[in-house]
Structure 1
């Protein structure tokens, strides 16, 4: 078990392939500039080939040295990683700090039939806990090793706690020496010495298994901890038809802007100077109707492109339960398999897009405590809103889908209209000044802004039940976030003098990560005070009645 293990031999090719991949765009631009007005005979092919061969040989040598010096060892309570060519690095990651081991297959690993394992720990690891090239079976073995160590650690704590409580109970029941009874006390010993080693294996023997290995006993005697397979069940799978509907109902306008910006940035380098100047002059002579047609075409192209990328990203979407963990796997070109424990979920977000809300569908995301920059895991990309309570009960039973019980009052409408109307008025004024009469069409933005503000006011709200806070808000899509009280770092309550005179306050919920902070504006002061009392209330204290006729909120 403590023998060092190397990565797969194909890891030797990684530096060469990554260098070629990064140099392809630069080589294309340099080639276009170099060949502009020149013949292929002017290229020094002999020297160019020699340089390419030398660089490729050096990269292969570097890859071999990296593979030779990259080893990892599974020990009793940690994984030890040693690596480095010029500077040796040794990294010890203890199992008590590991959140999960996620299996990923970027494009290169997927082509070579390999996988990479990312070890999740608190804080930023900067790629330290990454095994970039191992087989799929080895990745499964590492995940089983982590789950086995986690179960053993939990069992040891439970046995020690039971032993400690039993000792306290026996000492409490000792006869009083004043009654003349002689009591022979046992030899003093530590809690660890009193633990029965056979009790530590009870959980392993009683764990339900599928596809059990017939050689499990021999492997146990050989020191391999992976004696049985944990119970594994599929919670949900996304069909091809449902995936296509989810892709077409998820337009990405930012992708259109990035697409157009990329074309404009590279047009000067890719197109000849005469062609570029001619296209630029022709664009300046287009009529407003032509620009509208181009904008509509760009939106359609970006919509189809985002649908294709969405399908590639979430192809084969599957959610499984492996032991006590949840596994989410998806991806066509780059396959990812993310594991997390339900206890580490900080919040859950239900997002209902403009198109999806019409048909009663939404996407569900979980926010998990992890070291990755992307802390939002898609739990289901397209689910009926009526099925969300059942999904949360099966995957994260500590969260419940609660309806909104308090909404902003009518006197808070101006808080939802002011910024939207101000932006629409500024945009209309700019369009009228630049386009003159055709710019008058931009006045249609004003009723759209009013409709947008009124819908935001109508759909916003909150609810407090037990240890969960539910906040719903709308920017364009309708977003509902479920937050547990232990995960809230602080509550920030604010309001201007004018807002306070009208009995209005704003609420901001601060979490561990600022990306999942939630805010709500223009709520009744009594509702915000009830949330503050709920947050400050200790477990077991009485409820705080409100002055309204609604029933009091039960606070634990």
Structure 2
């Protein structure tokens, strides 16, 4: 065995990463220098700076090496101070391969190694290796210790058929058409247009405004509707590009997913790291009986992207197919549609009071400063009250000796399935008003990153939470307590 280096393209990736990190600090200096007529000094400085970064990136590449042994992954790195890290194979939880567009052009991949725990300093990555080398590293790291397989075992392994599901392009288009991305894009466009007079020169802005106002009403409406459809279509295209060829496969002890057209990703999730399964439905998908499934995974990197601890199992699925999907790909969390106990009728005020409070404050403020618009916050009272009742109708709890199911709504409806042995905390919260009406709020937590993930459902029957608490208090690891 001998130490290996990254592909030379890693120099380019390091150069881009360093320039991106330093851009915010350098751009103001460049702008000020241009305004003072120091053009040649700027170009000279940029050239010297680029050369120094290129030398630094090259030195970093030369000083980086890795070696996969039978027991561990060894990494040596450091330009001025040489550091050696050893990551035991037994601590490695997942090895993911990611191909950005530049990686795919050169036939390369990035190998991301995640370890048990939530400290990003104990994780590692190989920023640029050939795809075959990436697969080789992945396979070597998955092979624990000196385990070997007999020829018959290898043959039976090859013959074994694992369940796999591919999401078609029409289904991905449906995913984009029913997602929340279009709403976000429309909101960003509105923000851009609202600030247009600050960005566009005054003369051009006035000319465009006069031209728009001169259009016929029918044409103006057509332009607005056309813009909405363009934005909606852009959301669909983006979803297809992001999740193209989405495939999920269940192996013996792990879930394996590949997806992406421009950036191709391979994710591996050990089943024993799954802490909770969540079925999520936004308003549009709920109407059409659609949803998507994601899981909370222990050991996500604190401060990293949400995807590090929250992993989507499938981007779209019919709600009535969820039990069959879980039975096939994640039987550890398989459960028929639970019969949830909804909050009692007397808990409705606790679901609507916050919205009513905001509306009342808005009515007072508008009445003082803009009385002509007072009907707007008055109408909001009806809207917030209806939304609170809608959230009350959505919420619920179900439990047995193994599983705990919670359902709640912020904007989308989420149904959570938790296993008894995965819970880290179980808390019943109440106050004097809750106690008087025999109500309580449930707050349960599971591992994902350093903060954990909490699931909260307010104003349930106190007896239901007490009974659920008694069932789960037998696990010594779980903190079960009351809070005022």
TM band (smaller chain): 0.7 to 0.9
Q: Does the 8 Å CA contact 1:230/1:323 hold for their aligned counterparts? A: no
Match of 2:329 in 1: 395
Distance (Å, rounded) in 2 between the aligned partners of 1:50 and 1:209: 65
Q: How does 1:82-121 map to 2 (within 5 A)?
A: 82-121=76-115
Match of 1:164 in 2: none
Specify every segment of 5 or more residues in structure 1 that has no aligned partner in the other structure, as ranges: 153-199, 211-228, 283-288, 540-556
State how many pairs are aligned. 458
Deviation at 1:136, TM superposition (A): 1.2
Give the SS at the match of 1:149.
Answer: coil
Match of 1:313 in 2: 242
Q: Does the 8 Å CA contact 2:299/2:447 hold for their aligned counterparts? A: no
Deviation at 1:3, TM superposition (A): 1.3
Distance (Å, rounded) in 1 between the aligned partners of 2:114 and 2:42: 44
Give the SS at the match of 1:418.
Answer: helix
Deviation string 1:146-178 (CA, Å, 9 cap, x unpaired) is 22227x6xxxxxxxxxxxxxxxxxxxxxxxxxx
Select 1:423's aligned residue among 355, 358, 364.
358
Q: Does the alignment pair 1:335 with 2:330?
A: no
Distance (Å, rounded) in 2 between the aligned partners of 1:127 and 1:312: 32
Match of 2:168 in 1: 239
Deviation string 1:257-277 (CA, Å, 9 cap, x unpaired) is 566667889986x656x6699
**Which entry has the higher C-alpha Rg, 1 or 2?**
1
Give the SS at the match of 1:130.
Answer: strand
Evaluate the alpha carbon distance shift between residue 43 and residue 505 of structure 1 in structure 2; reply closer, same or farther with a 3 A threshold: closer
Match of 1:377 in 2: 311
Give the SS at the match of 2:313.
Answer: strand
Q: Does the alignment pair 1:132 with 2:127?
A: yes
Distance (Å, rounded) in 2 between the aligned partners of 1:430 and 1:254: 28
Deviation string 1:21-77 (CA, Å, 9 cap, x unpaired) is 5677888888888778x9xxx7755x6555444333333322222221111111121
Distance (Å, rounded) in 2 between the aligned partners of 1:126 and 1:406: 44
* TM-score for the superposition, normalised by structure 2: 0.82
Match of 1:67 in 2: 61
Evaluate the alpha carbon distance shift between residue 20 and residue 265 of structure 1 in structure 2; reply closer, same or farther with a 3 A threshold: farther
Match of 1:552 in 2: none
Distance (Å, rounded) in 1 between the aligned partners of 2:366 and 2:204: 27
Distance (Å, rounded) in 2 between the aligned partners of 1:245 and 1:28: 41
Match of 1:15 in 2: 14
Distance (Å, rounded) in 1 between the aligned partners of 2:191 and 2:61: 40
Deviation at 1:83, TM superposition (A): 0.8
Match of 1:222 in 2: none
Evaluate the alpha carbon distance shift between residue 336 and residue 416 of structure 1 in structure 2; reply closer, same or farther with a 3 A threshold: same
Specify every segment of 5 or more residues in structure 2 that has no aligned partner in the other structure, as ranges: 211-216, 477-484
Q: Which has the higher strand share?
A: 2
Q: Does the 8 Å CA contact 1:70/1:81 hold for their aligned counterparts? A: yes
* Larger CA deviation: 524-533 vs 311-320: 311-320
Q: Does the alignment pair 1:474 with 2:409?
A: yes
Evaluate the alpha carbon distance shift between residue 323 and residue 143 of structure 1 in structure 2; reply closer, same or farther with a 3 A threshold: farther
* Larger CA deviation: 10-19 vs 22-31: 22-31
Select 1:534's aligned residue among 463, 471, 484.
471
Distance (Å, rounded) in 1 between the aligned partners of 2:78 and 2:161: 38
Deviation string 1:467-523 (CA, Å, 9 cap, x unpaired) is 110001112211100011111111111211121121111111022244521111111
Deviation at 1:434, TM superposition (A): 4.3
Q: Does the 8 Å CA contact 1:404/1:472 hold for their aligned counterparts? A: no
Distance (Å, rounded) in 2 between the aligned partners of 1:481 and 1:259: 34
Q: Does the alignment pair 1:251 with 2:188?
A: no
Give the SS at the match of 1:398.
Answer: helix
Q: How does 1:166-185 map to 2 (within 5 A)?
A: none
Distance (Å, rounded) in 1 between the aligned partners of 2:91 and 2:392: 43
Match of 2:479 in 1: none
Give the SS at the match of 2:342.
Answer: coil
Deviation at 1:339, TM superposition (A): 0.3
Greater length-normalized contact order (CA 8 Å, ≥ 6 residues apart): 2
Q: Does the 8 Å CA contact 2:445/2:452 hold for their aligned counterparts? A: no
Q: Does the 8 Å CA contact 2:73/2:141 hold for their aligned counterparts? A: no
Q: Does the alignment pair 1:386 with 2:320?
A: yes
Match of 1:181 in 2: none
Distance (Å, rounded) in 1 between the aligned partners of 2:255 and 2:169: 22
Query: What is the CA RMSD across the aligned residues, in angstroms?
Result: 3.8
